[in-house]
């Protein structure tokens, strides 16, 4: 026991596999390239203007695929609505 509370998924069901999320995202967003991990980090290159607050930045990074997918789906939601 670690002293931490158990994590629960809100809304029911198990979290979706990040590999499945990646495949779906890549099909829906062909302008984004998700690179295999290098130096311990996942990276994605997105078209300019997608990253809020920075119109020139084109790269996102995360330590794991799930965290990278969270960032990508925040700027390009799977339902097609803007994250604005």
Q: How does pLDDT run across 40-68, given as a tens digit for each residue?
A: 999 999 999 888 888 888 999 999 999 99
Distances (CA, A) of 16 to 2, 29, 58: 25, 19, 26
- How far is it, in rounded angstroms, from Cα 47 to Cα 50? 6
Closest to 33 (Cα-Cα) out of 63, 58, 1:
58
Q: What per-residue confidence (pLDDT) applies to 4? A: 72
Q: What per-residue confidence (pLDDT) applies to 75? A: 92
Q: What per-residue confidence (pLDDT) applies to 83? A: 47
Whether 7 shows a pLDDT value over 90: the answer reads: no
The answer to whether the pTM exceeds 0.85 is: no
Judging by beta carbons within 10 Å of its beta carbon (0-12, 13-18, 19+), is residue 2 exposed, middle or buried?
A: exposed
Q: What per-residue confidence (pLDDT) applies to 84? A: 46
């Amino acid at each position: 026991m670690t002293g931490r509370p158990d994590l629960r998924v809100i809304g029911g069901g198990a979290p979706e596999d990040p590999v499945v999320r990646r495949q779906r995202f890549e099909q829906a967003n062909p302008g984004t390239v998700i690179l295999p991990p290098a130096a311990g980090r996942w990276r994605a290159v997105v078209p300019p203007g997608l990253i809020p607050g920075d119109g020139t930045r084109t790269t996102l990074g995360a330590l794991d695929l799930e965290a990278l997918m969270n960032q990508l789906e925040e700027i390009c939601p799977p339902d097609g609505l803007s994250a604005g």
